[in-house]
């Protein structure tokens, strides 16, 4: 088996990946180059992650303004914040994690029904980023499925575990309501008003669930669960059962940045600013670069709910945010444009969708 150590990515396709087979070593094509891992840039403390009590959005106008100001600061400095008092029952979160875990524990035959390498498929089960195709492989197995409108997609979701549709469906609906509330606050924080995107996100918007599983890795310092990347979405709401997520704080160390470890606190949800809010803010808010570290002993499950405009609805810079000093800094783009980008580019090599949108003056 040792000759597999130096085999190329294509050896580790779905069904044969190192993470599915629990290989006792990390094959070379999973090793991330040192440039990915400025370990000295890692701060092990997590004190500096902004945390926002969003129940206050429903308080007095003054209190809402204060929360929105906190969000504005978090979006400008980190492109990331944690939310507490979001009003979602702990049981809804626990149940969704449990059915996700149950799905990954099913026999391969059952899971393989959803296997697909087509990034346009509304439901797909695969490994790494693009299974066996990118130069570097990642120690991840995932199921992605569309979630809005629920009735249009839920019949395509797994029927096993038997409660998957019900429990994951409930979680998705709650995430969706929350995403609309947060997006309203974000557009308000940009001076665009609370309803600037409501109709485009509500009836016609997309919600994609990434249900991620990171099995234990024999050498967690060598491989990664996911490489540094930002999400294409407007916002992503994330729930994790274990630590592993790290976000890049661009402003630290006089602009050279540092990795910040995000703790796992029961009931807390994390909000990532995605590329489409960076565009919406004309660059005032930054989509957060994040990556996933691995664990030697435990399986990590994360649920990432990505919220964006409709498939072909283009996000562009609002004219209200453009003036002589602030020209339009990004080209318009849709979710579908992102998928086209994903097909053509190897994200493991650091290519970012947002960079293709930037207008140079």
Query: Between residue 223 and residue 282, which ones bind Ni ion under the rule CB under 5 A?
Result: 231
Q: Specify the residue for token string 């949108």.
A: 357
Shortest Å, Cβ 212 to ligand OGA: 4
Q: Which residues contact 124 (CB under 8 A, 6 or more apart)?
A: 114, 115, 116, 117, 118, 143, 144, 145
Nearer to Ni ion, 231 or 246 (CB): 231
Q: How far apart, in whole angstroms, are the C-alpha atoms of residue 63 and residue 306?
A: 28
Query: Between residue 76 and residue 115, which ones bind Ni ion under the rule CB under 5 A?
Result: none
Work out which of 70, 231, 249, 275 binds ligand OGA, going by CB under 6 A.
Answer: 231
What is the chain's alpha carbon radius of gyration, rounded to the nearest angstrom?
20
Query: Between residue 197 and residue 226, which ones bind ligand OGA under the rule CB under 6 A?
Result: 210, 212, 226
Nearer to ligand OGA, 225 or 318 (CB): 225
Q: How far apart, in whole angstroms, are the C-alpha atoms of residue 33 and residue 352?
A: 18
Q: How far apart, in whole angstroms, are the C-alpha atoms of residue 355 and residue 32?
A: 22
Nearer to ligand OGA, 9 or 212 (CB): 212
Shortest Å, Cβ 66 to ligand OGA: 29
Work out which of 111, 130, 145, 290 binds ligand OGA, going by CB under 6 A.
Answer: 290
Neighbours of 256 (CB within 10 A): 10
Give the containing element (helix H, strand E) for 93.
helix 90-104
- Report the b/e string of 113-146 with b at 16+ CB within 10 A: ebbbeebebebbbbbbbbbbebebbbbbbbbbbb
- The reply to whether omega before 161 is within 30° of 0 (cis) is yes
Contacts with ligand OGA by CB under 6 A: the residue count is 12
Nearer to ligand OGA, 68 or 237 (CB): 237
Of 211, 224, 25, 229, nearest in space to 136 by CA = 224
Question: Which of these ranges, 118-126, 147-155, 240-248, 321-329, lies near ligand OGA under the rule CB under 6 A?
Answer: 240-248
Shortest Å, Cβ 231 to Ni ion: 4
CA angle (124 as vertex; 94, 279 as ends), nearest 5 = 80
Question: Which of these ranges, 43-51, 111-119, 236-244, 339-347, lies near ligand OGA under the rule CB under 6 A?
Answer: 236-244
Q: Is residue 307 within the footprint of ligand OGA (CB under 6 A)?
A: no
Among Ni ion, ligand OGA, none, the one that 189 touches (CB under a kind-dependent 5 to 8 A) is none
Among ligand OGA, Ni ion, none, the one that 83 touches (CB under a kind-dependent 5 to 8 A) is none
In 75-132 the beta strands, taken as DSSP E runs, fall at: 80-84, 123-127
Nearer to Ni ion, 68 or 178 (CB): 178
Q: For binding to ligand OGA (CB under 6 A), which residues are involved?
A: 210, 212, 226, 231, 238, 240, 244-245, 290, 292, 302, 304
Q: For binding to Ni ion (CB under 5 A), which residues are involved?
A: 231
């Amino acid at each position: 088996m040792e000759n597999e150590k130096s085999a190329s990515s294509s050896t580790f396709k779905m069904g044969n990946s190192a993470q599915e087979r629990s290989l006792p070593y990390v094959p070379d094509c999973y090793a991330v180059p040192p440039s990915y891992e400025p370990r000295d840039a890692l701060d092990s403390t997590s004190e500096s992650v902004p945390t926002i009590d969003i129940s206050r959005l429903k308080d007095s106008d003054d209190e809402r303004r204060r929360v929105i100001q906190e969000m504005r600061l978090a979006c400008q400095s980190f492109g990331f914040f944690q939310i507490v008092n979001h009003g979602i029952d702990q049981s809804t979160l626990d149940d969704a994690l449990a059915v996700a875990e149950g799905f990954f524990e099913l026999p391969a035959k059952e899971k393989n029904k959803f296997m697909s390498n087509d990034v346009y498929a509304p439901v797909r089960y695969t490994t790494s980023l693009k299974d066996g195709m990118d130069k570097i492989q990642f120690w991840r197995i995932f199921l992605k499925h569309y979630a809005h409108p629920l009735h249009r997609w839920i019949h395509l979701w797994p029927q096993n575990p038997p409660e998957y549709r019900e429990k994951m469906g409930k979680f998705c609906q709650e995430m969706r309501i929350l995403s609309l509330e947060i997006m309203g606050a974000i557009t308000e924080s940009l001076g665009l008003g609370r309803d600037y995107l409501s109709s485009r996100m509500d009836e016609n918007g997309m919600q994609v669930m990434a249900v991620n599983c990171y099995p234990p890795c024999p050498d967690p310092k060598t491989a990664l669960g996911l490489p540094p990347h930002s999400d294409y979405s407007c916002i992503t709401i994330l729930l994790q059962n274990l630590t592993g997520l790290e976000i890049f704080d661009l402003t630290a160390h006089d602009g050279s940045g540092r990795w910040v470890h995000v703790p796992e606190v029961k009931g807390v949800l994390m909000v990532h600013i995605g590329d489409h809010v960076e565009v919406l803010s004309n660059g005032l808010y930054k989509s957060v670069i994040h990556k996933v570290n691995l664990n030697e002993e435990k399986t990590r499950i994360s649920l990432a709910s990505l919220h964006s405009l409709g498939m072909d609805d283009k996000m562009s810079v609002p004219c209200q945010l453009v003036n002589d000093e602030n020209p339009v800094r990004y080209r318009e783009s849709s979710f579908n444009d992102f998928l086209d980008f994903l097909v053509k580019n190897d994200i493991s090599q650091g290519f970012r969708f947002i960079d293709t949108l930037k207008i140079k003056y």
